[in-house]
Amino acid sequence: MRRYCNRMFARRYETLILITPDLTPEELEQAKSKITDVVEKMEGKILRFEDWGNRQLAYPVKRQLRGHYLLLEFMGQPDLLNEVERQMRLDERFWKFLTLVKDKRFDEAKYLEELERLSAERAKREADALNGGPGSDEEDEDSLDDEGDDSDLDDDDDGSDADDDSDD
Protein backbone atom coordinates (compact mmCIF):
# COMPACT_ATOMS: atom_id res chain seq x y z
CA MET A 1 0.00 0.00 0.00
CA ARG A 2 2.60 2.45 1.07
CA ARG A 3 4.91 1.39 -1.66
CA TYR A 4 2.20 2.04 -4.17
CA CYS A 5 1.72 5.53 -2.82
CA ASN A 6 5.42 6.22 -3.14
CA ARG A 7 5.21 5.99 -6.87
CA MET A 8 3.30 9.21 -6.98
CA PHE A 9 6.26 11.14 -5.68
CA ALA A 10 8.96 12.33 -7.95
CA ARG A 11 12.48 11.53 -6.96
CA ARG A 12 15.58 13.59 -6.98
CA TYR A 13 18.56 12.01 -8.62
CA GLU A 14 22.15 12.94 -8.93
CA THR A 15 24.10 11.48 -11.77
CA LEU A 16 27.77 11.79 -12.45
CA ILE A 17 28.60 10.98 -16.03
CA LEU A 18 31.95 10.22 -17.54
CA ILE A 19 32.08 10.79 -21.25
CA THR A 20 34.83 10.62 -23.79
CA PRO A 21 37.05 13.69 -23.82
CA ASP A 22 37.58 13.77 -27.58
CA LEU A 23 34.40 15.47 -28.59
CA THR A 24 34.16 18.71 -30.48
CA PRO A 25 32.27 21.45 -28.61
CA GLU A 26 29.27 20.83 -30.85
CA GLU A 27 29.30 17.11 -30.17
CA LEU A 28 29.56 17.82 -26.48
CA GLU A 29 26.57 20.11 -26.60
CA GLN A 30 24.71 17.47 -28.53
CA ALA A 31 25.55 14.83 -25.94
CA LYS A 32 24.43 17.11 -23.13
CA SER A 33 21.19 18.01 -24.80
CA LYS A 34 20.55 14.37 -25.46
CA ILE A 35 20.18 13.84 -21.73
CA THR A 36 18.42 17.07 -20.96
CA ASP A 37 15.94 16.45 -23.75
CA VAL A 38 15.00 13.08 -22.32
CA VAL A 39 14.51 14.58 -18.89
CA GLU A 40 12.35 17.36 -20.20
CA LYS A 41 10.35 15.12 -22.46
CA MET A 42 9.43 12.83 -19.60
CA GLU A 43 8.18 15.51 -17.27
CA GLY A 44 11.38 15.73 -15.32
CA LYS A 45 13.27 18.82 -14.44
CA ILE A 46 16.94 19.62 -14.41
CA LEU A 47 17.90 21.08 -11.08
CA ARG A 48 21.60 21.42 -11.59
CA PHE A 49 23.94 20.80 -14.46
CA GLU A 50 27.65 21.09 -13.90
CA ASP A 51 30.37 20.57 -16.39
CA TRP A 52 33.51 19.48 -14.62
CA GLY A 53 35.43 19.54 -17.85
CA ASN A 54 38.27 17.38 -18.95
CA ARG A 55 39.91 15.71 -15.99
CA GLN A 56 42.66 13.29 -15.25
CA LEU A 57 41.29 9.85 -14.42
CA ALA A 58 42.55 7.81 -11.50
CA TYR A 59 43.01 4.83 -13.77
CA PRO A 60 42.69 4.30 -17.51
CA VAL A 61 39.17 3.90 -18.81
CA LYS A 62 38.88 2.63 -22.36
CA ARG A 63 42.65 2.95 -22.48
CA GLN A 64 42.55 6.65 -21.93
CA LEU A 65 43.76 8.63 -18.98
CA ARG A 66 41.50 11.60 -19.36
CA GLY A 67 37.77 11.95 -19.32
CA HIS A 68 35.07 14.54 -19.33
CA TYR A 69 32.76 14.66 -16.34
CA LEU A 70 29.24 15.98 -16.19
CA LEU A 71 27.27 16.28 -13.00
CA LEU A 72 23.55 16.34 -13.33
CA GLU A 73 20.89 16.70 -10.72
CA PHE A 74 17.34 16.23 -11.80
CA MET A 75 13.93 15.20 -10.57
CA GLY A 76 11.46 12.87 -12.13
CA GLN A 77 9.63 9.59 -11.89
CA PRO A 78 11.65 6.39 -11.65
CA ASP A 79 10.94 5.46 -15.26
CA LEU A 80 12.64 8.67 -16.29
CA LEU A 81 15.86 7.48 -14.75
CA ASN A 82 15.57 4.17 -16.57
CA GLU A 83 15.20 5.97 -19.84
CA VAL A 84 18.12 8.31 -19.16
CA GLU A 85 20.36 5.40 -18.25
CA ARG A 86 19.21 3.37 -21.23
CA GLN A 87 20.07 6.20 -23.56
CA MET A 88 23.52 6.49 -22.04
CA ARG A 89 24.17 2.79 -22.28
CA LEU A 90 23.28 2.81 -25.94
CA ASP A 91 25.63 5.64 -26.69
CA GLU A 92 29.29 4.77 -27.03
CA ARG A 93 30.42 8.20 -26.00
CA PHE A 94 29.12 7.70 -22.47
CA TRP A 95 31.67 5.66 -20.61
CA LYS A 96 30.41 5.46 -17.09
CA PHE A 97 27.71 6.90 -14.95
CA LEU A 98 26.66 6.69 -11.34
CA THR A 99 23.27 7.73 -10.09
CA LEU A 100 22.31 8.28 -6.51
CA VAL A 101 18.78 8.77 -5.29
CA LYS A 102 19.04 11.90 -3.24
CA ASP A 103 15.43 12.22 -2.31
CA LYS A 104 12.61 9.76 -2.63
CA ARG A 105 9.81 12.22 -2.18
CA PHE A 106 10.78 15.28 -4.04
CA ASP A 107 9.01 18.46 -3.17
CA GLU A 108 10.25 21.49 -5.00
CA ALA A 109 9.28 24.03 -2.35
CA LYS A 110 11.01 21.98 0.30
CA TYR A 111 14.04 21.53 -1.89
CA LEU A 112 14.44 25.26 -2.41
CA GLU A 113 13.97 25.82 1.29
CA GLU A 114 16.66 23.29 2.00
CA LEU A 115 19.05 24.98 -0.40
CA GLU A 116 18.41 28.28 1.30
CA ARG A 117 18.98 26.79 4.72
CA LEU A 118 22.22 25.17 3.67
CA SER A 119 23.62 28.29 2.11
CA ALA A 120 22.72 30.24 5.24
CA GLU A 121 24.44 27.62 7.35
CA ARG A 122 27.50 27.73 5.16
CA ALA A 123 27.67 31.49 5.46
CA LYS A 124 27.42 31.18 9.20
CA ARG A 125 30.15 28.59 9.29
CA GLU A 126 32.43 30.78 7.24
CA ALA A 127 31.77 33.67 9.56
CA ASP A 128 32.59 31.43 12.52
CA ALA A 129 35.78 30.33 10.88
CA LEU A 130 36.82 33.96 10.46
CA ASN A 131 36.25 34.65 14.13
CA GLY A 132 38.59 31.91 15.18
CA GLY A 133 35.92 29.25 15.23
CA PRO A 134 34.08 27.84 18.22
CA GLY A 135 36.07 24.65 18.57
CA SER A 136 39.70 25.21 17.67
CA ASP A 137 40.93 21.81 18.74
CA GLU A 138 43.48 19.76 16.96
CA GLU A 139 40.72 18.14 14.97
CA ASP A 140 40.47 21.33 13.03
CA GLU A 141 43.99 21.15 11.72
CA ASP A 142 43.05 19.78 8.32
CA SER A 143 40.36 21.89 6.88
CA LEU A 144 37.27 19.75 6.88
CA ASP A 145 34.65 22.34 6.21
CA ASP A 146 34.63 21.81 2.52
CA GLU A 147 31.71 23.23 0.63
CA GLY A 148 31.11 19.70 -0.57
CA ASP A 149 27.57 18.80 -1.37
CA ASP A 150 24.38 20.60 -0.64
CA SER A 151 22.45 17.73 0.74
CA ASP A 152 22.42 15.95 4.01
CA LEU A 153 19.66 13.72 2.86
CA ASP A 154 20.18 10.04 2.81
CA ASP A 155 21.83 9.20 -0.46
CA ASP A 156 21.07 5.56 -0.33
CA ASP A 157 20.67 4.00 -3.69
CA ASP A 158 18.43 1.20 -4.66
CA GLY A 159 20.33 -1.65 -6.13
CA SER A 160 18.70 -1.08 -9.50
CA ASP A 161 19.58 2.56 -9.66
CA ALA A 162 23.29 2.45 -9.32
CA ASP A 163 25.76 0.51 -11.35
CA ASP A 164 28.38 -0.22 -8.83
CA ASP A 165 30.33 -2.69 -10.84
CA SER A 166 32.55 -1.67 -13.60
CA ASP A 167 31.97 -3.50 -16.83
CA ASP A 168 35.39 -3.30 -18.30
Q: Which of 109, 54, 99 is nearest to 78 (CA)?
A: 99
Min CB(133)–other proteins separation in Å: 11
120 binds other proteins (CB under 8 A): no
How would you label 75-106 residue by residue, b for 16+ Cβ within 10 Å and e otherwise?
bbbbebbebbbeebeeeebbbbbebbbbbeeb
Of the pair 49, 69, the CB lying nearest other proteins is at: 69
Question: Which amino acid, residue 74?
Answer: F
- Site track 23-62 with other proteins (rule: CB under 8 A), x = hit: ----------------------------------xxxxx-
By CB under 8 A, how many residues form the interface with other proteins? Answer: 32
Distance of CA 131 to the CA centre of its chain: 33
DSSP 8-state symbol, 49: E
Binding site for other proteins (CB under 8 A): 16, 18, 57-61, 65, 67, 69, 71, 96, 98, 100, 121, 125, 135, 138-139, 142, 144-146, 148-149, 151-152, 155, 163-166
